[in-house]
Amino acid sequence: MSRIKYVYGNWKMNQGLKEIETFFEELSENQKDWKCVFGIAPQFLHLPKLLNSTQNMNVKVGAQNCSHKESGAFTGDISPASLKELGCDFVIIGHSERRAFFKESHEVINEKTKLALSLGLEVVFCIGETLEQREAGKVEEVLKEQITKGLEGLSAKDLENVVIAYEPVWAIGTGVTATPEQAEETHAMIRSFLDSETAFEATTTSILYGGSVKPSNVEGLLSNENIDGALVGGASLKAKDFNALCEEASKLS
Ligand code: PGA
């Protein structure tokens, strides 16, 4: 079964207004013809600017997080309803930096996911093990728990709008990438788990890989049967690299 490839850029807390302008000046003219799905998640503050800059493009725009509540007394939080109203296409939920620095639990991740889906946002649901967990032989156990608890209570229909992003924590921002074989093996395990133990339609579910993806390693990763794209941090910040990633994903789509 061939699934369309994705390239989603997670800009994290990077890119000032000037860098964003340069990025769009340098984004390839070829983007009109790219066959892959591609998108960017900037800082919240820059979402209106991105939505405006991408009006005539196919690029999807997403948020890096959202509140677990729609509205109310949650100082400093961002309502997923407002993200939808603004025109966002997707939201990243459960990124390892949110889990580690902001202590997000499976329960809160589950609430956020349910709410975002109910409001019509696509959810990029992140999972991944730490180096310690990998070395202790717990990859499967950790990923299955993240999926089971984070996506509890969602129907097959809800799950159609969920993209899974497998991001080994030890590969994020470190320059160390999982080998294509390691990544493919884990993706195949995830897909088989989705198929046998969850309500996912596993053959049509997109499972992206994240963790130090760059133009030089993207082909090796994305040419695997179960790797449907990349969630990219560092290499998505420069248009030249983002262009190269999308060109490659397009060829493989
Ligand atoms: P990286 O980040 O590509 O810089 O490793 C990936 C991510 O955190 O989504």
Q: Of the residues 8, 15, 131, 167, which should be mutated to test ligand 1's pocket, given the most ligand atoms within 8 Å of the CB?
A: 167
pLDDT digits (tens, 9 = 90+) for 10-41: 999 999 999 999 999 999 989 999 999 999 99
pLDDT digits (tens, 9 = 90+) for 133-154: 999 999 999 999 999 999 999 9
Q: What is the pLDDT of residue 1?
A: 61
Show Cβ contacts of residue 42 under 8 Å, excluding neighbours closer than 6 positions. Answer: 11, 15, 20, 49, 50, 61
| Cβ–ligand 1 contact at 173 (below 6 Å) | yes
Residue closest to 161 by CA, chosen among 118, 225, 195: 118
**CA 170 – ligand 1 centroid, Å:** 10
Q: Output the residue whose Cα is nearest ligand 1's atom 6.
A: 233
pTM score of the predicted model: 0.97
**CA 173 – ligand 1 centroid, Å:** 5
Phi, psi of 150 (to 5 degrees): -70, -25
Q: What is the pLDDT of residue 2?
A: 76
pLDDT digits (tens, 9 = 90+) for 98-109: 999 999 999 999
**CA 85 – ligand 1 centroid, Å:** 27
For the chain, list residues with pLDDT below 70: 1
The first and second tokens of residue 119, run together, are 């409001």
Show Cβ contacts of residue 180 under 8 Å, excluding neighbours closer than 6 positions. Answer: 217, 220, 221, 223, 224, 227
CA distance 75 to 232: 29
Residues marked as catalytic = 95, 167
Q: Of the residues 14, 213, 242, which should be mutated to test ligand 1's pocket, given the most ligand atoms within 8 Å of the CB?
A: 213
